[in-house]
């Protein structure tokens, strides 16, 4: 899965001359938390709620609400935006995007292609991808099979059990722990108790069976 598969394409962008109050209005109206700043389609900065908060007067200010609103309406995003924005290509693997976010401690990456802004991807997009990968919202049954001997062909042996019951495997993940491997399979079109019995009879340790209807 690539960044382009999960990013928000053609994100709402603003110019560096946009006022902070306008940027805040756009965020509030559309539920955004950050906005790319562009000249044409070329990225020049990023404005976030956090950055605006850092540059706004504290709650202890003596300014009235009218004076504060006036100040925000006259202050341009150019004066508060992040200028060294971390970007990523739409053709980068999704897990690499997650690593870049973690490494740089940022919650989003602006997606740039041919020197133009084509999207934005956030940590929520990464989380949603993980949930979708495991099929959390899909109908079916989730089986966790614990394997102590990680040998060639073990997945084929497990899959054969599902094939014999004409079950359709919709999602699969493998977790490695010291001395143990958990194979997590979500499948449909098979009775959960029958499927568990088949796996157990074949010598597999089924540690969890959760039905999602």
195 touches 167 (CB < 8 A): yes
pLDDT at 99 over 50: yes
Question: Per-residue pLDDT tens for 130-186?
Answer: 999 888 888 899 999 999 888 899 999 999 999 999 999 999 999 998 989 999 999
Q: Span 3-130: which CATH code?
A: 3.10.580.10
Rounded Cα–Cα distance for residues 140 and 137 (Å):
9
Q: What is the pLDDT of residue 69?
A: 61
Instruction: Delimit the domains of the chain by residue range.
Output: 3-130, 135-212
Residue 175 has φ and ψ, to the nearest 5°, of: -115, 130
Q: What is the pLDDT of residue 90?
A: 97
Q: pLDDT confidence of 64, banded at 50, 70, 90?
A: very low
Model confidence, pTM: 0.80
pLDDT at 66 over 80: no
CA-based nearest residue to 179, from 145, 148, 137, 210: 148
Average pLDDT over the chain, rounded to whole? 89
pLDDT at 65 over 60: no
Topology classification of domain 135-212: Alpha-Beta Plaits (3.30.70)
Range name among 26-30, 53-57, 61-65, 154-158 with the lowest pLDDT average = 61-65
Q: Sign (positive/negative) of CA torsion 125, 131, 136, 141?
A: positive
CA-based nearest residue to 87, from 103, 117, 105, 110: 110
Domains 3-130 and 135-212 agree in fold: no
Of all residues in the chain, the percent with pLDDT exceeding 90 is 72
């Amino acid at each position: 899965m690539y960044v382009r598969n999960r990013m928000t394409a053609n994100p709402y962008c603003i110019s560096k001359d946009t006022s902070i109050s306008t940027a805040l209005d756009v965020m509030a109206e559309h539920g955004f938390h950050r906005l790319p700043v562009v000249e044409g389609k070329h990225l020049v900065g990023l404005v976030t709620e956090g950055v605006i908060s850092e540059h706004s007067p504290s709650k202890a200010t003596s300014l009235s609400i009218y004076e504060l609103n006036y100040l925000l309406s006259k202050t341009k995003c150019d004066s508060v935006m992040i200028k060294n924005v971390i970007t990523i290509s739409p053709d980068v693997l999704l897990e690499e995007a997650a690593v870049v976010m973690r490494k740089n401690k940022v919650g989003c990456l602006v997606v740039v292609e041919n020197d133009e802004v084509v999207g934005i991807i956030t940590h929520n997009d990464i989380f949603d991808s993980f949930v979708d990968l495991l099929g959390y919202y899909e109908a079916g049954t989730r089986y966790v099979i614990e394997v102590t001997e990680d040998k060639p062909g073990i997945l084929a042996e497990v899959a054969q059990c599902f094939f014999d019951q004409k079950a359709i495997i919709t999602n699969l993940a493998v977790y490695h722990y010291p001395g143990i491997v958990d194979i997590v399979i979500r499948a449909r079109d098979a009775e959960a108790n029958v499927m568990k019995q088949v796996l157990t009879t074949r010598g597999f340790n089924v540690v969890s069976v959760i039905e999602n209807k």
